[in-house]
Structure 1
Amino acid sequence: MQLVKEGRLRWELEWACDNCGVSHDGDWGVAPDEVRRPILAEHGYRRLRVEEPISSGGKVLRAFRNAFGVSIGEAKQSADELAGEEGYRGTLVEVSLLAELLGASGIATTIDHA
């Protein structure tokens, strides 16, 4: 699963273990493929778009870095995707967190099915 905790993206995984019963794993940031892929298969992608041209790239970079814990380069790549015609694609939890962080910075967004 993916969730927002303390204003940041987190993923968690739980499975049955023959030796110890139930095991848990998790971390901050974007989920690894083995967690993210089933989420996308079940729920599909969502697309985040900005409603108006972005006047402050720093606010967008900060939102991506705060949400996902990524490098400046990775945040820039994602910000460029967001500013493009197609918008930024992610899971519902990912784009909802970004929309919340961007909204707090005065950047209006919409979320659609991808």
Structure 2
Amino acid sequence: MSQFVLHDELWWVSEFSCESCGTRLCEHAGPGAAPDDVRQALLAAHGSVTLRPTGPAPGLVPVLRALREASGVSLPQARELAAELVRDGLAGTPAEMGLLRDALHRRGVPADVQS
């Protein structure tokens, strides 16, 4: 199981194999957010990281735009995420937080991912 960023989009892959018969299958390989069970397995396997601002943001609008573009959330959800980002940081998989960090950087918002 893995998750990565490709062309500014979050992708995930889930594969499994049968030790008895040697069959290997790919459950999914493509763009989009991973289902909760896959995301929880990724967090269990790789741990979570936290995205935090590293300096003052040029304003709320660039933060909201970056969060909406990267995660596809509504404006009210982006406002909640922005408040959480400033207050405690945003926690998630390394790929999720890397995608958000890059979106913030493109909008001139300094942020970094910490283990």
**Short-chain TM bin:** 0.7 to 0.9
Correspondence for 2:12: 11
- Given candidates 25, 28, 52, the residue that maps to 1:22 is 25
Q: How far off its partner does 1:65 sit?
A: 1.6
The C-alpha deviation readout for 1:79-108, integer Å capped at 9, x for no partner, is 111011x21111111111111111121111
CA offset at residue 21 of structure 1? 6.3
Q: Alignment partner for residue 61 of structure 1, among 58, 61, 64?
A: 64
Deviation at 1:28, TM superposition (A): 4.0
Q: Which residue, out of 87, 90, 93, partners 1:91? A: 93
**61, 78, 82: which one aligns with 2:81:** 78
The 8 Å contact of residues 52 and 90 in structure 2, kept in 1 or not, is answered as: yes
Deviation string for 1:3-40 (max 9, x for gaps)? 2122122223234599x962432564432211111111
Aligned-partner residue type, residue 33 of structure 1: D
> Whose radius of gyration is greater, 1 or 2?
2
Mark the CA change 1:25 to 1:63 in structure 2 (over 3 Å): closer, same or farther: same
The corresponding residue for 2:112 is: 110
CA distance in 2, matches of 1:43, 1:23: 20
Deviations 1:41-85 (A, max 9, x none): 11111011101232321211222222122222222211111011x
Matched residues, percent identical? 36
Q: Partner letter of residue 28 of structure 2?
A: D
Figure out how many residues of one structure are paired with residues of the other and give that number. 111
